């Protein structure tokens, strides 16, 4: 069993649900290439953003999810924690709803997502900035002749 760990950042995005699968694949490609079978654990180092896996084809799903999140976790609530503005505490609640990590199987050097699955970044702040992730990759090594 081999283990690799890599940190990388995602560029700042507007508030909303964003498909980041290609960004993650690009950042991890050299680190996944050696894995015949394994797991990639992605951890987002923030408390006001989230990671989840969901629809990768229709952007309306992401827009609807953002609409639901804003309805379910309103900025109009009288939150006690509002030091950084009205989106502060709602961002923490949304982050806890989706979570900050996902685990994805690796098969022959590639993330084994389903046909309609993609990795989403939930940006829950109006000005969240870049987001930092740590990927821990574990697995069995590919045979040299099969790479």
- List, for residues 131-142, the tens digit of each pLDDT value: 999 999 999 998
Let me know if residue 147 belongs to a domain: no
Helix (H) or strand (E) holding 94: helix 88-98
Q: What is the CATH number of the domain that holds 109?
A: 2.60.120.460
Q: What is the pLDDT of residue 1?
A: 87
Look at the chain and report how many structural domains it folds into: 1
* DSSP state for residue 146 in the 8-state scheme: G
Helix and strand numbers (H, E) in the chain are 3, 8
Sites in the chain below the pLDDT cut of 50: 145, 147
Q: What is the pTM of this model?
A: 0.94
Which of 61-65's residues contact partners 24+ apart within 8 Å by CB, and which partners? 62/16, 62/17, 62/18, 62/19, 62/120, 63/16, 63/17, 65/17
Let me know if residue 106 belongs to a domain: yes
Let me know if residue 90 belongs to a domain: yes
| Domain encompassing residue 30 | 2-142
Let me know if residue 36 belongs to a domain: yes
Q: What is the pLDDT of residue 144?
A: 66
């Amino acid at each position: 069993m081999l283990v690799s760990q890599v940190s990388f950042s995602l560029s700042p995005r507007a508030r909303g649900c964003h498909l980041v699968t290609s960004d993650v694949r690009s950042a991890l490609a050299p680190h996944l290439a050696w894995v015949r079978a394994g797991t990639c654990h992605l951890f987002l180092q923030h408390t006001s953003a989230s990671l989840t896996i969901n629809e990768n084809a229709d952007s309306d799903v992401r827009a609807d999810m953002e609409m639901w999140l804003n309805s379910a976790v309103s900025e109009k609530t009288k939150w006690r924690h509002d030091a950084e503005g009205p989106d502060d505490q709602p961002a923490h609640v949304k982050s806890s709803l989706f979570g900050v990590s996902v685990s994805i199987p690796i098969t022959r050097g590639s993330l084994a997502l389903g046909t309609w699955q993609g990795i989403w970044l939930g940006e829950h702040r109006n000005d969240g900035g870049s987001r930092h992730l740590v990927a821990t990759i574990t697995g069995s090594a590919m045979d040299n002749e099969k790479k």
